[in-house]
A and B are shown apart, each in its own frame.
Chain A
Amino acid sequence: MDDAESIVELIPRLRRYARALAGDRAAADDLVQDTLERAWAKLHLYRRGTDLRAWLFTVMHNVYVNQLRAARPGVQLDEEMPELSQPARETDALELRDLDLAIGRLPPEQREVLLLVVLEDMSYEEAAGTLGIPIGTVMSRLARAREKLRTMLSGLPPGGKQLKIVR
């Protein structure tokens, strides 16, 4: 299988990650489309034998960061996002749509790390390579992302209650 075919096979994975990253469907597919165009143009930079998926995710990360910068010039990527205005819910069940909403409210750089590690099942090392950041930064962003999710979803102090899943 050549690189072009491999890229095509990975499009659904890119879409899943983009949907989680960008939120709505149109914005996510815009992100995938821009990523693919850039990937085709830069395919000669991809080193064969290395992880093509990680390379594509890196391309998507770069496109995403550029989009964020274009949309919000001068805004620090690390700035705090507003917390949910809703008070803590009186339920210990984690509802999926709340999670979706909460993911969307994470700072982008924390959202990326969380999704790469927890959804895409990358090791800290792979995530660090994909995003071009130190492993320590991956770990701290992941910790902060989980902390924020806990706060947003339960309103409880960290470790106070376990997440439960309901369908």
Chain B
Amino acid sequence: MDNAPQEDLELKALSQALHQLYDPVLEEPLPGRLRARRQRWRAPAIAAGWVILGLCAGTIAGWQLHASRPASAPQAEVPGFVKRAAVAHATYSPEVRHPVEVGADQEQHLVAWLSKRLGAPVRAPKLEAVGYSLVGGRLLPGDNGPVAHFMYQTAQGRRITLYVRTEAAENRETAFRFAAEGNVKVFYWIDRKLGYALSSADLSRDDLLSVADAVYRQLNP
């Protein structure tokens, strides 16, 4: 390669221009989907460290929808099932007398029934470790067939719901993604045959993320 002084100068100018162009990315707050680790944990210590890091990694930034260049890939839309999950949460979580169809006292029956209707093995994760116990669940109509809907609550009656549906395309996995529908916050992901959406109306995004982590770990021991 020719190392004439002019070449060096030109490379330097190019380098400066590239840094001017792309260095601002270094300062952008990380979108949530890049902070949420989705792979199975190698060790619990790493998992805990990750969650803490995730919480500390920076201020929660709005994911601004603008592209620095005309987009070659469309911005991912919030899937329809996530909206349905948020609506189901808003509908059933305030319910006092009939929050669920089948209560946690019949958990085995509930899980067997929902698994049969969905045509896939569904499980109700145990979330006592993060302060939530199972209230029960119900069957819901979805855009892709029947949906399992589990409700959990804290000792203070604060509720979260887990919406589980079968996925048309198998063997797909995605990271946690975040959406807000009205006042309902949702973390959703796809894990092979099933799509999940975890909803809350009163948890912070980061608190909801740590519950989502717990759900994922329970389902992928």
Task: Using CB atoms and an 8 Å cutoff, list the residues of chain A in contact with chain B.
Answer: 2, 4-5, 8, 11-13, 15-17, 19-20, 22-27, 29-30, 32-33, 36-37, 40-41, 43-44, 94, 96, 99-101, 103-104, 115, 118-119, 121, 139, 142-143, 146, 149, 159, 162-165, 167
Question: Which of A8, A25, A36 meets B68, CB within 8 Å?
Answer: A25
Task: Using CB atoms and an 8 Å cutoff, list the residues of chain B in contact with chain A.
Answer: 1, 6, 9-11, 13-23, 25-28, 30-31, 33-34, 37-39, 42, 46, 49-50, 53, 57, 66-76, 173, 175
Let me know if B18 and A2 touch, CB within 8 A: no
Let me know if A12 and B68 touch, CB within 8 A: no
Q: Which B-chain residue is minimally distant from A95 (CB atoms)?
A: B17
Residues of A within 8 Å of B16, CB to CB, are 165
If over half of A's interface residues share one DSSP class (helix, strand or loop), that class is named, otherwise mixed; here it is helix
Question: Which of B1, B11, B17 meets A96, CB within 8 Å?
Answer: B17
Let me know if B18 and A24 touch, CB within 8 A: no
**A163 in contact with B13 given A23-B69, A40-B39, A143-B1 (CB within 8 Å):** yes
Give 11 pairs: A residue, B residue, CB < 8 Å, sorted on A: A12-B26, A16-B23, A20-B21, A24-B68, A29-B31, A33-B34, A96-B17, A100-B68, A159-B6, A162-B10, A165-B20
Question: Which of A4, A19, A149 meets B49, CB within 8 Å?
Answer: A4
**A119 in contact with B15 given A5-B53, A25-B68, A27-B72 (CB within 8 Å):** yes
Most buried by A among B25, B39, B71: B25
A4-B50, A40-B38, A41-B39 given; 12 more Cβ-contact pairs under 8 Å:
A8-B50, A17-B22, A19-B22, A20-B22, A36-B175, A96-B21, A100-B21, A119-B18, A121-B15, A149-B14, A159-B6, A164-B13
Question: Which of A17, A20, A26, A101 meets B67, CB within 8 Å?
Answer: A26
The 9 residue pairs across chains A and B that have the minimum distance between CB atoms: A40-B39, A24-B67, A16-B25, A27-B73, A24-B71, A119-B18, A163-B13, A12-B26, A23-B69
Q: Which A-chain residue is minimally distant from B175 (CB atoms)?
A: A33
Let me know if B69 and A101 touch, CB within 8 A: yes
What is the CB-to-nearest-CB distance from B76 to chain A, in angstroms, rounded to a whole number? 7
Residues of A within 8 Å of B46, CB to CB, are 2, 4
What is the CB-to-nearest-CB distance from B47 to chain A, in angstroms, rounded to a whole number? 9
CA distance A15 to B18 in the complex (A): 14
Let me know if A24 and B70 touch, CB within 8 A: yes
Residues of B within 8 Å of A104, CB to CB, are 69
Residues of A within 8 Å of B17, CB to CB, are 94, 96, 99, 163, 165
Q: Which A-chain residue is minimally distant from B18 (CB atoms)?
A: A119
Residues of A within 8 Å of B22, CB to CB, are 16-17, 19-20, 119
Question: Which of B21, B25, B70 meets A12, CB within 8 Å?
Answer: B25
**A19 in contact with B13 given A25-B68, A43-B42, A119-B19 (CB within 8 Å):** no
CA distance A88 to B19 in the complex (A): 24
Let me know if A26 and B76 touch, CB within 8 A: yes
Residues of A within 8 Å of B53, CB to CB, are 4-5, 8
Residues of B within 8 Å of A139, CB to CB, are 1
Most buried by A among B22, B26, B42: B22
CA distance A29 to B75 in the complex (A): 11
Residues of B within 8 Å of A41, CB to CB, are 39
Most buried by B among A24, A101, A103, A115: A24
